[in-house]
Structure 1
Amino acid sequence: MSALPAALRISRRSAWRSRGRSALIMVMIGLPVLVITALFTLGETMIVGPHEGLTAEFGAADARVLQAPPGSNLRQSPRGTSWSSGDGRASAARRGPSEVAALLGPGTRLVPFTTGVFRRGAERIDALRIDLRDPLTKGMLTLAEGRLPGAGEVVATPASGLRPGDVLRPTGAAPLTVVGVVEHPHEPSLRQVVGPDIAPVEVQRFWSPRDHGSGWLADTPKPVTWNDIPALNAANLYVTSPAMTLDARTLVRPGPMQAAGTAGLGVMVIMVVLETVLLAGPAFAVGLRRRRRELAEIAAQGGSAAHLRMIVLADGLVLGGAATVVATALGVGAGALGAPIVARWTEGTIGPVDVPWPAVLAVAALGLISGITAALVPAVQAARQDTASVLAARPLAAADGPGRPLAGAVLVLAGLGATFVARRQSDPVWVWAAAVLIMIGLLVLTPWLVRFTGRAATRLRLPLRVAVRDAVRHRSRTTSAVAAVMAVTATAVAMGIGAQSQSEDWRKAHTSARPEGMLAIWGGTMSDATWGRLRAEAARLLPGVPLASGYQAQDTQGRRYALRYTVKWNGIRTRRTAAIGDRALLRLLQGRDDPRAAEALASGKAVVFDPAAVRDGKLALRAASTSGPPRRLDVPAVVAVPADEHQGGALLPRALAEQAGFTTAERQLYAMYRPPADSTLGRDLAKVTGRVTVASEEGYRNLPDPSLLGWLVGAVVLAAGGTLAATGLAAADMRPERATMLAIGAPPATLRLVVAGQALYVSGLGALMGLAAGTVTGVALSRPMTTHGAGDPATIAVPWPFVIAVVAGPPVLATAAALITRTRLPLTRRLQ
């Protein structure tokens, strides 16, 4: 039998005999492979490619035509679309079906559709007016329950919460009965109602392609290509078709990987291999110590040093290969099963299960290489062991060198310098690249640190002194375990500080024009009589709640205008809409009576809660309307203190708006009132008119970051696992010393303290080193993760409970596990 098959056979039998150790190694090698494979599969499955989304967009049609607003300047090309919306006053009329059919060619058949929203009380649901019974719509939606709708009927998606038998009562129209449930092929979280008689309301915003509006699905005599688009654009028609989507000029080709992407890929590869080697290395070393006699017997029978190295490397090949195969299969399954859940949770899209095999196979190869690399050092040690000493059961002499402290210090200093430079970059990947340099430097420096900290052993009690001195004697074994704990802790601490800093930055970035707890009732375009009924109903539904009035600005033609200004808040440009009201509304916005602000409001000045927006006593406003020309206004203003620290905005007196040429009409109500969770206020007010919006300012909700819990559990498990593997190796090496201690009367508790001392020393030193490295990296990460331009200071926040748990968790867990280990030893033969 040749050497390699024999080595693989020996490794397979050894792995089966030590199933616990083998499972631990497979988990440490396979876990990164599983996670990365699952993320790749999840991401690829959630991307709906051009071929995959054709049926959902076009059904069986040859084109989808959408009418742009009159007066629009529309131009489509394979490289993008440019457009400018008209002002709604252009004389060009909308195209009729016959004109559109003539433009698309003789024999064209059109199926009309309209997209928009449907108001159900205070909430809005996407709405599509189309006849799903037409063959051209086949495949756009899948019927899951009930039947397709006819006249006076609709179907709804599961996320809408509607069930067959429910009745929708649109304002000013006949009731609609829900007769079925349909599912979108790629959007499981879509909330939509569909029917031939539903009347969607257009969203009040500027038009853009693929937006709301009316159009047709077209069955054309020939495919619609880019050659047909100029004439259709000239007719204010935005057109898409399967032929255009699949045109080679339209498909996006992946460009060359940028420097940041290359660096990120390299950092990920280095960290995965380094972490796997450091974690699995001690476990392989434990296996080597337990197989020393077996390998010595092979050497005594003629096995060469190369044969011994091959056997130990075969362990890495067998266990790494098994781990990558299992992890790859589980990762693909986890990604495929998790895609629908993530799509619903994040309101994303999902396509058919798609596995990026080149990337997945590369990750599997990376796991296999990691397993072989983790067994490399034990393989070299196996080839160098003294056969006679092992067969005679003599303890092996420690031959560990002093390490290379100077080289490690240089690498750490270089990493610190690189981190200082990388923190000023916009991409956090450069900080991680510098962190890898720091970790490698600390890895090189660890043998010296182990020897240096071992000097304190003379001041410790006997069990701890024995444990620390043994760790110092076997620095190669201790270094791997300490470095593994260091790498895990540093990564977790850095991620924790970065995530907490980003969360704190989001908290600071939270802003609102209303204080927390304020209820706002806004009326859209409506008559004074309708508003009077709405106001009376609001007062009836909110008895005893003081209501402050807000006003709407209109020009002489009755067109609504919003008065807005832009200000920087936490480094981000924020656009706010100024309110129009009196002293009662000012009192609510400030949460108190402010005589100075009230006097300024009464004198015709704006009261502003954003100090940066006021320059030279003026507030620059832009009056914008969806149907009228914009205007610029500079109004006198004073700065006041709002009720909440995160509150901004401005309040204008009615007189100031009227001086600018506007008329004002009451269309808003405000109150300091928190509706209960089961409140039906919005639904009740919508019975008066559908043009009402009810909003309650809830303030910033600082929800705990679930990723921190994942990092905490992962860090504690991996660090404790690596520590226990090293502790098991130490216990095997210290068997003669422990036997001697037991022979001279040491109680079992003392033996347990020796093992626990090893675990505490290894995990404690690694955790402290990881805390230092992770803090530097985390603080550096906070800058690119929380700054929003030049001059914006970074937000630095440390999640102290998380950091304490990450640093203290592995030592406590590993020490506790070591304290309950079995301390009975077999009789050890000692040579004279």
Structure 2
Amino acid sequence: MSAVRAALRIARRSAWRSRGRSALIMVMIGLPVLVITATLTLMATMTVTGREGQVAELGAADARLVPAPAGTVLRQEPNGASWTTEGDGAAASELRAAEVAALLGPGTRLIPFNTGVLQLGTERVDALEIDLRDPLTKGMLTLAEGRFPAAREVAVTSASGLRLGDLVQSPGAAPLTVVGVVEHPHRPSLRQVVGPDLSLAPSDQFWSPGEYGAGWLADTPKPVVWADVPALNKAGLYVTSRAMIPDSPRAPARFFPAEVQHTVGLGAMVVMVVLETVLLAGPAFAVGLRRRRRELAEIAAQGGSARHLRTIVLADGLVLGGAATFMATVLGIGAGALGAPIVARWGGQAGPVEVPWAPVLGVAALGLIAGTVAALVPAVQAARQDTVSVLAGRAPAVADRPGWPLAGGVLVLAGLAATVVARRQPDSLWVWSAAVLVMIGLVVLTPWLVRLTGRVATRLRLPLRVSVRDAVRHRSRTASAVAAVMAVTATVVAVGIGTQSEYMDRRNAYTSARPTGMLAIWGGTMADGTWNKLRAETARRLPNVPLAAGYQAKDVEGRRYALRYTVRWNGIRTRRTAAIGDQALLRLLQGRHDPQAAAALASGKAVVFDAAAVHDGKLALRAGSTSGPARKLEVPAVLATPADEHQGGALLPRTVVEQAGFATAERALYAMYRPPAGSTLGRDLAKVTRRVTVASEEGYRNVPDPGLWSWLVGALVLVVGGTLAATGLAAADMRPERSTMMAIGAPPGTLRMVVAGQALYISGLGALVGLVAGTVTGVALSRPMTTHGAGDPATLAIPWPFVIAVVVGLPVLATVAALITRTRLPLARRLL
């Protein structure tokens, strides 16, 4: 029998004999593999490709055609589509079914459809007006219960909450009976009503292909290919064809500089995952080595070489790592496949089960490597153990490597220098790469730190003194656990500082052109009569709400112009559009009556709320138009205080604009009014013209990222789990000392304090070192995450509650968990 095969058999037998330790190691190795594999499978399954989604969109038809609004210039290409709409937004093209069929050739059969919304009381649900009994619709929706609807009947999706026999009625229409329950192939959360004769409510959205609108499904005598698309686009038809996706040309493979950053970031992530797994699983492998020292010594006494001992211990890592990786990969694929439909019911879509085998197998290989590497240090120790001392029952002497502290210090200094350089880079990946170098250096330094901090043991009480001295005596075991806690703490603290800094930067840099609570209604290019109707409808919908007018600038040829000025916002040069109005609008923008600002506006000066935009008492403007030449002009301006602290913008008097050669026309309305939840104001005004935009200024609405505290949960599992694993090893190694303490009358509380002291020392030292390393990385991260251009200062913010919870709370929790563990020792035989 070969030595490798014998080592694998010994490893399998040892793993089965110590099932608890083996399960712990497998969890430490397999958990990252399971999570990453499940995430990859979930994302791949929930990504519905164009080919997979063809049946839901086309059914059995060859093509789907949607007419664009009148005046739309449409152009489809294999890599996307573009369209521009001119005029007053006519709702639909006048194409008839016969004309569309003629474009597609003789023998074409069309069936109409219309997608939109259905008004059911105060609720609006998605609706599809189509005859599901037609063979061309096969596969678009699957029948789960009942039958497909006929005239004056509808089918509903199960997520809509309606059931067979219910009545569906929209305002002004006859009630429709629910006769079927259908399911979308990829969107189980879709709430939709389907029937051949629905009264769809008008949409308040601009036209977009694939969204709301009418069209046809076509059964064509020959496939519709890309060569047919230009003619159909020219006729105002947006085309989706079953034959167009296979004909889409693939972009040639090219190398981009951004791929270098992606590769570096991926490499840094791989190193961090392997490092953390090795540090967490290392103490558990050390447990096995401690318990098998005599077995290995007996093998050495019978002629086993150091290479044989290394092979036996490495076989532990290979066996446990392989079993953990296999089980985690299978469970991860299953969890991702089963979780996709469940997640899709909360929102999203799910296609057929898809496993991205290349990354999944890469993750599995990573787990196998991590398991083997985790057993590498115990394997080296096993090869170097003194056979005579082990067989005599004496603890092995710990020999320090004199060059390791120097090597660790060099790596830390090199990592700090790289961090300083990476902080100036625009991408945070370089900071994380430098942090990996610092982390490796600290891992190398950890045994020296353990020995250095062990000098304080003489000043501690007996239980803690015993704990610290034992930790120093078994530095290889302690250093691995301390390094694992350090790596977790450093990563979480760095993420916390970077995330909080980014949040504070966004909050401090937030600006708005209007005060919080202001409603703005803008009209686009439209006739005066259309605007008058829109204004009257607004006044009718908002009774007793004072409205301030805003104006639009036009040249002598009627071309619309926007008057903009440039200001630096959050480090980026940004163009703002100046409003045109009178005293009523100024009072709304300032939230009060300001006599000085009102007098300046009346005298023909611009009132500006961005201090950096005014130079020598003037505001530089650029008048731009989509169809006319640009112009530059300067107007006299004064600074004023806005209603809100972070509010910017400028207000121009009509006289200044007209003196510059423009005509003004009222095309905007402003009011201090907050639409209630579920307000239909936008849809109501869209009935007058679709060239209306309704916006309500809500102020800065973002909140700190709640996902930050999920990092705390992950740190809790890793820190407490790793600490308790190392503490369990310490408790096993300290049995002689604890037996002696119990024999001389030490109470159970003292024995618990000895075990808890190990947990406090490991987690406390790791948390303190991790705090320093994480703070350095977090400060470096704050610059690329909060700067957006030259001259933009970095924002640094520390989430103190989060940092305290990580650095103080987790060690305390680990200590409490160790304090309540069982510490009773079995009776030991003693020679008299």
TM-score with structure 2 length normalisation? 0.85
Contact 2:657 / 2:663 at 8 angstroms: preserved in 1? yes
Q: Which residue of 2 aligns with 1:273?
A: 274
Contact 1:121 / 1:690 at 8 angstroms: preserved in 2? no
Q: Which residue of 2 aligns with 1:663?
A: 665
Query: What is the deviation of 1:356?
Result: 0.8
Q: Which residue of 2 aligns with 1:784?
A: 784
SS of the aligned residue for 1:425 comes to coil
Query: What is the deviation of 1:252?
Result: 5.1
Offset from partner CA, 1:41-61 (integer Å, 9 cap, x none): 122122222321221232222
Q: Measure the CA separation in 1 of the matches of 2:117 and 2:802.
A: 44
Q: Which residue of 1 aligns with 2:381?
A: 381
Query: What is the deviation of 1:331?
Result: 1.9
Matches within 5 A, 1:324-343: 324-340=325-341, 342-343=343-344
Offset from partner CA, 1:285-319 (integer Å, 9 cap, x none): 11221232333344445554444333322322332
TM-score with structure 1 length normalisation? 0.85
Q: Which residue of 1 aligns with 2:289?
A: 288
Contact 2:30 / 2:367 at 8 angstroms: preserved in 1? yes
Query: What is the deviation of 1:500?
Result: 1.8
Offset from partner CA, 1:113-161 (integer Å, 9 cap, x none): 5566778899987665555444333333445667656667766667778
In structure 2, relative to structure 1, the CA distance for the partners of 1:754 and 1:204 (3 Å cut) is closer
Offset from partner CA, 1:374-424 (integer Å, 9 cap, x none): 112212222333333333322222233345122212211221222222233
Percent of aligned positions that are identical:
69
SS of the aligned residue for 1:217 comes to strand
Counterpart residue identity of residue 431, structure 1: V
Contact 1:33 / 1:328 at 8 angstroms: preserved in 2? yes
Q: Measure the CA separation in 2 of the matches of 1:536 and 1:70.
A: 30
Offset from partner CA, 1:642-698 (integer Å, 9 cap, x none): 222333344455666777313326x635235584x6x76859978997989876543
Query: What is the deviation of 1:772?
Result: 1.6
Equivalent pairs counted in the alignment come to: 815
Q: Which of these residues, 143, 168, 175, is aligned with residue 170 of structure 2?
A: 168
Counterpart residue identity of residue 140, structure 2: M
Matches within 5 A, 1:35-114: 35-68=35-68, 74-81=74-81, 96-113=96-113
Q: Which residue of 1 aligns with 2:260?
A: 259
In structure 2, relative to structure 1, the CA distance for the partners of 1:504 and 1:338 (3 Å cut) is farther
Offset from partner CA, 1:567-586 (integer Å, 9 cap, x none): 55324576766555544443
Contact 2:40 / 2:336 at 8 angstroms: preserved in 1? yes
Counterpart residue identity of residue 444, structure 2: V
Q: Which residue of 1 aligns with 2:469?
A: 469
Q: Which residue of 2 aligns with 1:425?
A: 425
Q: Which residue of 1 aligns with 2:318?
A: 317
Q: Measure the CA separation in 2 of the matches of 1:204 and 1:638.
A: 39
Query: What is the deviation of 1:280?
Result: 0.4
Q: Which residue of 2 aligns with 1:547?
A: 546
In structure 2, relative to structure 1, the CA distance for the partners of 1:193 and 1:578 (3 Å cut) is farther
Gaps of 5+ in 1: 541-545
Contact 1:70 / 1:88 at 8 angstroms: preserved in 2? no
Contact 1:719 / 1:810 at 8 angstroms: preserved in 2? yes
Larger CA deviation: 401-410 vs 634-643: 634-643
Contact 1:127 / 1:200 at 8 angstroms: preserved in 2? no
Query: What is the deviation of 1:527?
Result: 6.6
Larger CA deviation: 633-642 vs 760-769: 633-642
Larger CA deviation: 366-375 vs 687-696: 687-696
Q: Measure the CA separation in 1 of the matches of 2:598 and 2:673.
A: 19
In structure 2, relative to structure 1, the CA distance for the partners of 1:582 and 1:68 (3 Å cut) is same
Q: Measure the CA separation in 2 of the matches of 1:636 and 1:473.
A: 79
Matches within 5 A, 1:212-223: 215-223=215-223
Q: Measure the CA separation in 2 of the matches of 1:420 and 1:809.
A: 30
Q: Which residue of 2 aligns with 1:535?
A: 539
Query: What is the deviation of 1:587?
Result: 3.0
Contact 1:723 / 1:763 at 8 angstroms: preserved in 2? yes
Offset from partner CA, 1:252-310 (integer Å, 9 cap, x none): 56656821222222222211111111000001111221232333344445554444333
Counterpart residue identity of residue 288, structure 1: L
Q: Which residue of 2 aligns with 1:809?
A: 809
Offset from partner CA, 1:692-736 (integer Å, 9 cap, x none): 987654333343423222211111221222222222222333333
Q: Measure the CA separation in 2 of the matches of 1:75 and 1:693.
A: 26
Counterpart residue identity of residue 535, structure 1: A
Query: What is the deviation of 1:822?
Result: 3.9
Query: What is the deviation of 1:447?
Result: 2.1
Contact 2:607 / 2:638 at 8 angstroms: preserved in 1? yes
Matches within 5 A, 1:94-243: 96-113=96-113, 130-142=130-142, 165-169=167-171, 174=173, 177=176, 179=178, 183-187=183-187, 196-198=197-199, 201=202, 205=206, 215-243=215-243
In structure 2, relative to structure 1, the CA distance for the partners of 1:622 and 1:219 (3 Å cut) is farther
Q: Which residue of 2 aligns with 1:543?
A: none
Q: Measure the CA separation in 1 of the matches of 2:507 and 2:147.
A: 47
Query: What is the deviation of 1:222?
Result: 0.9
Q: Which residue of 2 aligns with 1:602?
A: 602
Larger CA deviation: 556-565 vs 183-192: 556-565
Query: What is the deviation of 1:799?
Result: 1.4
Q: Measure the CA separation in 2 of the matches of 1:446 and 1:753.
A: 24
In structure 2, relative to structure 1, the CA distance for the partners of 1:253 and 1:138 (3 Å cut) is farther
Matches within 5 A, 1:424-443: 424-443=424-443
Q: Which residue of 1 aligns with 2:400?
A: 400
Q: Measure the CA separation in 2 of the matches of 1:682 and 1:461.
A: 73
Contact 1:394 / 1:831 at 8 angstroms: preserved in 2? no
Counterpart residue identity of residue 47, structure 1: T
Q: Which residue of 1 aligns with 2:444?
A: 444
In structure 2, relative to structure 1, the CA distance for the partners of 1:353 and 1:551 (3 Å cut) is same
Query: What is the deviation of 1:34?
Result: 1.2
Q: Measure the CA separation in 2 of the matches of 1:178 and 1:784.
A: 59
Offset from partner CA, 1:74-115 (integer Å, 9 cap, x none): 55444555666556799x996554443333222222334556
Counterpart residue identity of residue 808, structure 1: V
Counterpart residue identity of residue 470, structure 1: D
Query: What is the deviation of 1:365?
Result: 2.0
In structure 2, relative to structure 1, the CA distance for the partners of 1:718 and 1:586 (3 Å cut) is same
SS of the aligned residue for 1:401 comes to coil
Offset from partner CA, 1:520-561 (integer Å, 9 cap, x none): 677898574675465245336xxxxx6343346497999996
Query: What is the deviation of 1:494?
Result: 1.5
In structure 2, relative to structure 1, the CA distance for the partners of 1:185 and 1:430 (3 Å cut) is farther
SS of the aligned residue for 2:217 comes to strand
Counterpart residue identity of residue 816, structure 1: V
Q: Measure the CA separation in 2 of the matches of 1:368 and 1:387.
A: 30
Q: Which residue of 2 aligns with 1:478?
A: 478
Q: Which residue of 2 aligns with 1:250?
A: 249
In structure 2, relative to structure 1, the CA distance for the partners of 1:256 and 1:182 (3 Å cut) is farther
Q: Measure the CA separation in 1 of the matches of 2:43 and 2:556.
A: 51
Larger CA deviation: 644-653 vs 522-531: 522-531
Larger CA deviation: 366-375 vs 100-109: 100-109
Offset from partner CA, 1:332-382 (integer Å, 9 cap, x none): 23323443455566x644322211122212211211221121112212222
In structure 2, relative to structure 1, the CA distance for the partners of 1:824 and 1:204 (3 Å cut) is closer
SS of the aligned residue for 1:224 comes to coil
Counterpart residue identity of residue 108, structure 2: T
Counterpart residue identity of residue 280, structure 1: A
Q: Measure the CA separation in 1 of the matches of 2:790 and 2:344.
A: 36
Q: Measure the CA separation in 2 of the matches of 1:721 and 1:271.
A: 18
Contact 1:38 / 1:335 at 8 angstroms: preserved in 2? yes
Larger CA deviation: 116-125 vs 256-265: 116-125
Q: Measure the CA separation in 1 of the matches of 2:349 and 2:683.
A: 34
